[in-house]
Amino acid sequence: MKAGIIVKGLDGLEQILTTEQEARRLSKEFIERGVRFSTNPVSLDDIFYYIVKRPIDEDEDYKRHE
C-alpha cells in the first residue's frame, strides 16, 4: 500500500506528506518519468497549513478585513 497525503498549496504546488521509505520510492519514479520535484523535511508551517488549510501569513489579511 502506498502511504501519503497530497496537499495542494495556494500557489498550485503540491506537497506529498509521506514516510521516508515512500519518499525514496516516489523519487525514483519521478526521476524515471522526468518529473521535477524536491524533497524537504516537514516544517511546523507545513503542519499548520495541513491542519487549518491556509498559510500562516493569510491571518494578517483576515485581521485587516475585519
Structural domain span for residue 43:
5-64
pLDDT value at 5 more than 50: yes
3-state secondary structure the chain: CCCCEEEECCCCCEEEECCHHHHHHHHHHHHHHCCCCCCCCCCHHHHHHHHHCCCCCHHHHHHHCC
pTM metric for this prediction: 0.56
Q: How many independent structural domains does the chain possess? A: 1
Torsion angle of the four alpha carbons 17, 11, 60, 45, in this order, in degrees rounded to the nearest 10: 20
Question: What would the pLDDT profile of 9-66 be if each residue is shown by its tens digit?
Answer: 778 888 888 888 999 999 999 999 999 998 888 788 877 877 786 655 555 554 544 4
